[in-house]
Structure 1
Amino acid sequence: MQTNFFDNLSPLPIDSSLSEIVSTLAKSPNCVLHAPPGAGKTTRVPLALLKKFHLDEKKIIMLEPRRLAARTAAARLANTLGEQVGKTIGYRIKNDTKISSETKIEVVTEGVLTRIIQNDPELSAYSCIIFDEFHERSIHADLGLALAIEIQEALRDDLRILVMSATLDTQEVATLLGDCPIISSKGKSYPVTIKHVPLPQMVASRIDQNIPALLTHIAKTIQYAIANDEGSILVFLPGAGEIKRVADMLQSTLPPDVDIAPLYGNLPQRQQDEAILPAKTGRRKVVLATSIAETSLTIEGIRIVIDSGLSRSSRFSPATGMNRLVTETVSIAAATQRTGRAGRLESGICYRLWSEVQENSFRAFASPEIKEADLAPLSLELAQWGACGENGVHALAWLDTPPTSSYRQALTLLQQLGTLNTDFSITDHGKAVAALPLHPRLAHMIISAHLNGYGRTACTLAAVLSERAKGTDLRHLIEQANSNQGISKTAQHLCKLLNIPSTEKLDSDKTGASLALAYPDRIGKLRDNSRTEYKLTNGRRAQLTEESPLAGTPFIVVAELNDAHATSRIWQCAPIDFDDIHTLFHNEIQERSRVEWDERNASVSTLQTEQLGDLILSQQSSTEASEEQILSALLDGIRTLGIDALPWTKEATRLRERLAFMHIHSQQLTSTADCYEWPDVSNKALLNSLETWLAPYLAGMRKKADLRKLDLETILLSSLEWAQQTALQKLAPSHFTVPSGSNIRIDYSDPTSPVLPVKLQEMFGATQTPSIANGKVSLTVHLLSPAGRPLQVTRDLISFWENGYPSVRSEMRGRYPKHPWPDNPLTAEPTRKTKRALQNQ
């Protein structure tokens, strides 16, 4: 290995800071380096540390957030030394390792650092950990840093930690690292001209609202840039689907000297490597990339960036326990990083496909992954580390502590998979799951399926899901797995880890059974009267498209779905036999006697059911039910039907209205003898208190029709004590005796203002307005004509006699001449008779 490897290299901005970085880490265990894109931190700093500490027998490990970046960084570091990867410089990424006994710098990614720490908690083979591109805030980087800090504090005070970032708030990280030194380095970038070229119809709206139109606009912008600008083009798109669609649009429209190069995470390694190489002499290329190209990589020859302004990421919902893919606008920091790609090697141009007005609504920084992600993998790692449950997670040093709701959801899932004990400590099965390079769901799946005899099928399914192969019916993807090199390689690697022989049968009929082991919460049963809608064991609803070949399948297991709506759209699933559900989950299936209200038949039904989670697998009629269960179901039925489903006779309704009056006016009754707690008889109150006032009268009833037997007037009266019934008659009488001697029914339909409807002639001589409730509530008097039609409404009789009666008399005595209309109603005899009847009496 050379020790003077910097001597003949082209200078980079970071070079002026290398001596400070090295001397700082010689004196201080921790350091934060802020260096913008293009400074050279990834390819220079590890070698500078190696040169300083080359006599140290321990190694340096550098964490990169992406596999492509890790392989590229290792290759460039090795090239600087004039070596092949695998000697002094090596890498470890998922399913690919190139290191040797000579390796002194290991570039690792994803969960590899965590795996190394779990296997060697002292990190005895390493002297320094470098966290590169830490501003991306991947969940693996956050976890790795938290564990590294604990190792340093508890076991290795000589362990060095260097955090390198382009856009992060470095002070926050420095504080976490014990107020360590911060070193800032200038970057080298060439001027980039920014041009905003939004779609006209999207100037004032969100740019993710019409992606098809945006993709057409992108294709036209690419064609414009090729015709008017020089150099190769880097186009940022949200995902692989959009990359393929834009590539199809361009295929027949580009000049013959322009090549299209896709670049995204699941692309085969060979195609990724081709995308980042410079265009061949005399040719240009258009690199269609996801956010994978934002940082770490320098793609040779890029002068033009076209930025869609969109990114796609997975969001975990603790409420549903499921992920959903979200397409959203990028942050200002990410947009700046993307723009900078055009000025790495020379001056360039960036076309931003949004308006400056829209840019005002962009976030400053993207949310850290730990706040948005499924925390099951992290939670299992913490349990293996010994940081069990919520107390354990809070004992570690985090830039952002894992959200409580997501963390609890993860612990529940891990217990369901058998990887955690009740005290959240890791089980032996959990250790086996944690040892595999898979999400805990998939690791549990392949281990359990292996024990059931279809491990190779499960390993192939895990490879299909890990590589994000496209297709709704996962059985077909299993059958086609051997034709996909990436899936086949991953499946073989997993089989090797579990010692599964290659001769074992690949049985696509066991796809659903395998998938159920990973997603026991997403086993779905077809809903009645539907071909596409399913109820899942987690209680959610999910739907296939009408065109799906699995539409109408009685039972399925869902691997991937869009959880953006109340009914999720199923993207990937597989059918499962009822017998397989029974075999796999016989310990979790509960047999229950279900007594519930059947809305269709309007009666209580008694069923014997088999239930898995929230999903009723099967049910049949049963006669076994206690009186308490039947009563409870009947009360549920009444609440479903509503209070008006009860047989409210006129008498019961009138009594209820009087009780409502007493409930409203009870505070006006100051007499101790009359102060009772009058029941609330509103619809809501009666439904909420059915157990108290109605349940004792429902014995032997099961159907809506049975309710007709109820005597609600008697039931309501029975809810009152005898003295209270007497007080009710006294304070809110059903009738009022008017001056003529008639007993007139009081109308309590408006309990705030009861009404006395009475013929005007029957109130002659009345000098006071009628009242109830010991005179505290005046009745509203509706004075009627001899034909019973309203003439006047009053709550002040004296005022009416003096002011209103003369005009009423003048108008009515001609219309009703047979009835008395005296000049002075206060001295006239009250009567309901005609003048002739009065003369003949």
Structure 2
Amino acid sequence: MSTTEFPITPLLPRILAQLETHTRLVLEAPPGAGKTTQVPLALLDAPWLAGRRIIMLEPRRVAARSAALFMARQLGEPVGETVGYRIRFENKVSARTRVEVVTEGILTRMLQDDPLLEGVGALLFDEFHERHLSADLGLALALDVQGQLRDDLRIVVMSATLDGERLANFLDAPRLSSEGRSYPVEVSHFPARRDEALEAQTRRAVEQALAEHPGDVLVFLPGQREIAKVQAALSPSPSGGGVGERVGAAASHNSQQHQASSAPSSGAARHLLPQGEGYEVLPLHGELPIEQQSRVLQPDPDGRRRVVLATNVAESSVTLPGVRVVIDAGLAREPRYDPNSGFSRLDAVAISQASADQRAGRAGRVAAGWAWRLWPQSQRLEPQRRPEMMQVELASLALELAAWGSDELRFVDPPPAGALAAARELLQRLGALSKDNTITALGKRMLGLGTHPRMAAMLLSATNAREQALAADLAALLEARDPLRQGGDALAARWRALAAFRSGRAPHDANRSALAAIDAAAKQWRRRLRCDGAPPADIEAHELGDLLAHAFPDRIAVQHPSDPMRYQLANGRSARQFDNSDLRGEPWLVISELRHDPRDALILRAAPVDEARLRSDFPERFRQQDVVRWNSAKRALEARRESSFERIVLDSRPAGQVNPAHAARALTDAVRELGLDALPWTENLQQWRGRVMGLRHWMSELELPDLSDTALLATLDDWLLPAFTGKTRLDALSEEELGEALKSGIDWNTRQLIDRHAPVRISVPSGMDRRIDYTLDDDGITPRPPVLAVKLQELFGLADTPRIADGRVPLLLHLLSPGGKPLQVTGDLKNFWQNTYAEVKKEMKGRYPRHPWPDDPWSATATHRAKPRGT
């Protein structure tokens, strides 16, 4: 075994000691510290492991292969002996393997297939700061296993940049940190020129870095497309003017005598590059063959300088020797939910500040280095990467949770409730979940394919080898970027380009490398399906759509009867075709991609589907039923006999008399459409509603129901639907029945409390009962002060303002003249007697001489009558 010293080596004894007494550990170590390759090997002889396996989770295939290869070399063994790896479509483990490096989806399958994790003693989550959905799910499942079944299982969460304190608190685990080993890195920003493309800016930066600084250059780019463009920009031109031919002795010159510049120049650097033997440009991303990946991870055998164009696979877990300069585009492709396709797609997004710091640190691994950032210095980055859980579609997660059989998992960041509910609704449409959200037999088979549930449902719908091969083609096409440069909206055009590519005659407007990748992916899917059939050379018009319908049952669409360019979707929405659509006139479509718009969605990609095949595959979704609906034009119910597919009405015709059994629902829906004003409200009912809403605000302990318009409309089925039973007309509901419906959720004792604390009338000193008026503010929720309108003479002798709601709410007094005209509005009767009454008396006494106007209203007798004649 190698005795190489790593920065993390001094920390290994403490790691072992903590895991002797704790079953969880959080380990923070910067890139290059050696945590990925040294911690698993250090744990192999731990007594608590007792010869069992260690499973280490890596977020990327490149990192998984690289880590396994490095550890195997340290042990002097080939991969697959003590150390092995498992990734999608590739397995390098044996019965002797004790350290198994796996990618995230593999760990989830292992936990689902064997929750006891027989023969496994430890789970290591490497680079957890990337917060991939699979890693979050894997940790939640592992914690559940540890808590329920395996209290001896060790869980170690490792990362270079994470909120270690928060994570340690969440896990109730000790936290260890390694300082690592790094050299100073000078960070600066390399400005772009006006309207300059990324590849042009990157080329200028590479040229200048090679001329001014020693060592290899690592360039971070968002994806393969950008890598290909920059690689082309750096390739020698036919005239020999390419930068690769003109680097020359810059490497040796700069390594012996270098003067660091404080910031990169924005000007061209071509004149700085002396003649010589050049350098090598190497791509690095997850889709490269293993041999090419391995080549990038080793020093150049001829000692040439290298420019490595990498995605964020090089950000962590992968060591690139000789790098002294990092050029960072500041972008990464991360999954984001794309409502157009129904899948999560990889979008180029700005990286976090933590990622930017980690990338820059790659320049300081072997000596002092330089990091040039290709974004403006004024641009501010998010501090940490957002968890995938918060920004992707969750159908795969919902299916995993259903298979696990528990919603009580502990997530570092719980999945958003709305996104999870939408995912479960989709899974029910796909047949993966039952109505109570338990997994079905089909759902279990879908889970075993390890792809998005939409794709899995389509792949499993194939009934023979030909259909399986065609479904494999479709899966590859849907997962890939569009291979046609100008392909219109017909999915069949993409498939025919693939078929032509296989026969050696790809269309001129097709991207051959994209078609090659699609063909390779289709082969992998055929292998996964154990499909022996070859893909067909030609297809019928509806064959693609017949399969695609199983992936997008919510996007099966029928042509609108009055507008041939518009389609009604099974989910209740509608969409229109391009004016020059290749699918014009098709009666049925399955839409794989559409551009959502609040007013008018646009069909981007679709395939025709055969109605007979739909009726065969989805018989339960075609229905014929008698329905009763509210006709707003006639303001009446009408009965119709309708044929439908999901929410698409295919045929509707009159069905005679309205069935009372269906009428109550239709009348309730009519109120939902027309609003509550369509009901027979009376003043007394409005007052009763105001009393209840007032007491909700003044005496919350009574826990009275919300009777606002919003709340009543949201609960129509609970309180109004029963009241319409047996009725076939909206005006058949009486005022009394409406009142009982409104009060149906309030028991008799609570109604008594409402009458006591918010009375309809109140007794005043004159001996009369006067009405209290209850109103709500314009928001329909907040109560206004309750009003008591009463003649001033009826309050003589009353010192203070009357109150309701257990004395908490004073009445707003509208004091009236003997003729019933307003004299004064006050909420403070005592203050009125003291300061205002005298003025009112002076003004009113002459106008109403037959009514009492005593000098002392405090002791006068209240009355509602005029003085007797002659007094």
**What's the TM-score bracket when you normalise by the shorter of the two chains?**
0.5 to 0.7
Match of residue 383 from structure 1: 402
Alignment partner of 1:6 is 2:2: yes
How far off is 1:247 after superposition? 3.9
Match of residue 332 from structure 1: 353
Answer yes or no: is the 8 Å Cα contact 1:595–1:625 preserved in 2.
no
Secondary structure class of the residue paired with 1:358: coil
Answer yes or no: is the 8 Å Cα contact 1:457–1:506 preserved in 2.
no
How far off is 1:196 after superposition? 1.5
Secondary structure class of the residue paired with 1:408: helix
| Structure 1, gaps ≥5 residues long | 202-209, 388-392, 643-662, 664-690, 698-773, 778-841
Q: Please give the per-residue CA displacement for 1:407-451, whole angstroms capped at 9, x wherever unaligned.
A: 111222222222222322222222222222222222222222237
Match of residue 333 from structure 2: 312
Answer yes or no: is the 8 Å Cα contact 2:20–2:48 preserved in 1.
no
Quick one: structure 1 residues 235 and 263, their matched pair in 2 at CA, closer, same or farther if it must change by over 3 Å?
A: same
How far off is 1:168 after superposition? 0.9
1:298 to 309, 319, 325: 319
How far off is 1:261 after superposition? 3.5
How far off is 1:221 after superposition? 3.0
Q: Please give the per-residue CA displacement for 1:313-338, whole angstroms capped at 9, x wherever unaligned.
A: 33338999664655432211111122
How far off is 1:25 after superposition? 1.5
Match of residue 127 from structure 1: 121
How far off is 1:303 after superposition? 2.6
Match of residue 779 from structure 2: none
Match of residue 385 from structure 2: 366
Alignment partner of 1:144 is 2:138: yes
Answer yes or no: is the 8 Å Cα contact 2:570–2:645 preserved in 1.
yes
Q: Please give the per-residue CA displacement for 1:154-203, whole angstroms capped at 9, x wherever unaligned.
A: 221221111111111112222233x22211101222222211234476xx
Match of residue 81 from structure 2: 87
2:244 to 245, 255, 259: 255
| Structure 2, gaps ≥5 residues long | 246-277, 503-514, 676-685, 687-723, 733-818, 823-871
1:194 to 181, 187, 204: 187
One-letter identity of the residue aligned with 2:398: S
How do 1:636-785 residues align onto structure 2 when only pairs under 5 Å count? none
Instruction: Return the TM-score normalized by structure 1.
Output: 0.66
Q: Please give the per-residue CA displacement for 1:518-549, whole angstroms capped at 9, x wherever unaligned.
A: 12122244567888765533345556666764
Answer yes or no: is the 8 Å Cα contact 2:62–2:285 preserved in 1.
no
CA distance in 1, matches of 2:209, 2:14: 43
How far off is 1:343 after superposition? 2.2
Answer yes or no: is the 8 Å Cα contact 1:176–1:397 preserved in 2.
no
How far off is 1:112 after superposition? 0.6
One-letter identity of the residue aligned with 1:6: S
Answer yes or no: is the 8 Å Cα contact 1:318–1:409 preserved in 2.
no
Higher mean C-alpha deviation, range 369-378 or range 574-583: 574-583
One-letter identity of the residue aligned with 1:294: E
Alignment partner of 1:438 is 2:456: no
CA distance in 1, matches of 2:604, 2:283: 24
1:103 to 85, 97, 101: 97
Quick one: structure 1 residues 415 and 507, their matched pair in 2 at CA, closer, same or farther if it must change by over 3 Å?
A: farther
Answer yes or no: is the 8 Å Cα contact 1:264–1:289 preserved in 2.
yes
CA distance in 2, matches of 1:153, 1:634: 53
Q: Would you say how many aligned residue pairs link Structure 1 and Structure 2?
A: 640
CA distance in 2, matches of 1:598, 1:695: 11
1:612 to 629, 645, 649: 645
2:429 to 411, 416, 436: 416
Match of residue 748 from structure 1: none
Q: Which has the larger radius of gyration?
A: 1
Match of residue 502 from structure 1: 533
Answer yes or no: is the 8 Å Cα contact 2:465–2:533 preserved in 1.
no
Quick one: structure 1 residues 218 and 503, their matched pair in 2 at CA, closer, same or farther if it must change by over 3 Å?
A: closer
Higher mean C-alpha deviation, range 275-284 or range 188-197: 275-284
1:405 to 418, 434, 438: 418
Answer yes or no: is the 8 Å Cα contact 2:491–2:606 preserved in 1.
yes
Secondary structure class of the residue paired with 1:590: strand
Q: Please give the per-residue CA displacement for 1:730-755, whole angstroms capped at 9, x wherever unaligned.
A: xxxxxxxxxxxxxxxxxxxxxxxxxx
Secondary structure class of the residue paired with 2:550: helix
How far off is 1:42 after superposition? 0.7
CA distance in 2, matches of 1:566, 1:17: 60
Instruction: Return the TM-score normalized by structure 2.
Output: 0.64
How do 1:197-216 residues align onto structure 2 when only pairs under 5 Å count? 197-199=190-192, 213-216=197-200
CA distance in 2, matches of 1:543, 1:218: 41
Quick one: structure 1 residues 80 and 437, their matched pair in 2 at CA, closer, same or farther if it must change by over 3 Å?
A: same
Secondary structure class of the residue paired with 2:463: helix
Q: Please give the per-residue CA displacement for 1:572-595, whole angstroms capped at 9, x wherever unaligned.
A: 543323333333223113346789
One-letter identity of the residue aligned with 1:217: Q
CA distance in 1, matches of 2:568, 2:307: 45
Secondary structure class of the residue paired with 1:85: coil
Quick one: structure 1 residues 54 and 453, their matched pair in 2 at CA, closer, same or farther if it must change by over 3 Å?
A: same
CA distance in 2, matches of 1:605, 1:272: 69
CA distance in 2, matches of 1:637, 1:423: 30
2:24 to 10, 19, 30: 30
1:581 to 614, 622, 631: 614
Quick one: structure 1 residues 594 and 385, their matched pair in 2 at CA, closer, same or farther if it must change by over 3 Å?
A: closer
Q: Please give the per-residue CA displacement for 1:775-797, whole angstroms capped at 9, x wherever unaligned.
A: 979xxxxxxxxxxxxxxxxxxxx
How far off is 1:146 after superposition? 1.2
Match of residue 645 from structure 1: none
How far off is 1:468 after superposition? 5.1
Answer yes or no: is the 8 Å Cα contact 1:540–1:567 preserved in 2.
no
CA distance in 2, matches of 1:609, 1:70: 57
How do 1:145-160 residues align onto structure 2 when only pairs under 5 Å count? 145-160=139-154
Answer yes or no: is the 8 Å Cα contact 1:323–1:563 preserved in 2.
no
CA distance in 2, matches of 1:619, 1:512: 23
Match of residue 288 from structure 1: 309
Q: Please give the per-residue CA displacement for 1:53-81, whole angstroms capped at 9, x wherever unaligned.
A: 59833111100011121111111111222
Secondary structure class of the residue paired with 2:461: helix
One-letter identity of the residue aligned with 1:414: L
CA distance in 2, matches of 1:542, 1:423: 31
Secondary structure class of the residue paired with 1:454: helix
Quick one: structure 1 residues 490 and 271, their matched pair in 2 at CA, closer, same or farther if it must change by over 3 Å?
A: same
CA distance in 1, matches of 2:615, 2:477: 26
CA distance in 2, matches of 1:535, 1:267: 43
Secondary structure class of the residue paired with 1:305: strand
One-letter identity of the residue aligned with 1:502: G
CA distance in 1, matches of 2:608, 2:364: 51
2:551 to 518, 541, 546: 518
How far off is 1:363 after superposition? 1.1
Answer yes or no: is the 8 Å Cα contact 2:667–2:730 preserved in 1.
no
Secondary structure class of the residue paired with 1:130: strand
Answer yes or no: is the 8 Å Cα contact 1:421–1:427 preserved in 2.
yes
Higher mean C-alpha deviation, range 556-565 or range 375-384: 556-565
CA distance in 1, matches of 2:376, 2:83: 45
2:227 to 236, 240, 243: 243
CA distance in 2, matches of 1:244, 1:543: 36
CA distance in 2, matches of 1:57, 1:632: 66
Secondary structure class of the residue paired with 2:324: strand
One-letter identity of the residue aligned with 2:474: L
